[in-house]
Amino acid sequence: MKEPDFLPTQQIGKLGELLVQYQLLRFGIESAQLTTDSGIDLVAYSPNKKEALTIQVKANLKPKKGGGKGNYALDWWVPDNSPVDLFAFVDISENVTWLFTKAEIAQVSQQHSKNGKYHFYITTEDVLKYKGEKGKKAHVSNFEEKILKNRIKEIFG
């Protein structure tokens, strides 16, 4: 059976949360979903650091054309006053998750809206070292070190 080209937003969000939990568990990091939408999707426990970290998950089913006709990209909007420790950005089509701290997302986001949201996007086309607005890095190759499996030791000990 072929994967669908469209899913409702809630299903995309749930897929993202489950993928993050699966990827964390592969490295021995327990996590749990919260039952209400308070801006925190998961709480992950680091047995090495003996602390819990909060995570907001944002998921894309697949890359889409920027502005309807630009380069293929994944993009996410997150509130600048989020209560979380980490943002997990997910590309469901490739089963990839990137982890960013709040401070990091403020640095890498290509836009910051007047209504208090950061806009972060990653282009997925083979456009070498594509730079987004304000010359900030935007190509998928620029964020290899932020992929979840590459950050486990740094973030969770």
pLDDT in tens, 40-50: 999 999 999 99
Distance from C-alpha of 141 to C-alpha of 98, rounded to nearest angstrom: 12
Per the document, the length of the chain is 157
Domain ranges for the chain, please list them.
9-156
Q: How does pLDDT run across 87-127, given as a tens digit for each residue?
A: 999 999 999 999 999 999 999 999 999 999 999 999 888 75
Domain 9-156 is of which CATH architecture?
A: 3-Layer(aba) Sandwich (3.40)
Q: How does pLDDT run across 4-45, given as a tens digit for each residue?
A: 677 899 999 999 999 999 999 999 999 999 988 788 999 999
Q: How does pLDDT run across 56-93, given as a tens digit for each residue?
A: 999 999 999 877 778 899 999 999 999 999 999 999 99
Q: What is the pLDDT, as a whole number, of residue 134?
A: 61
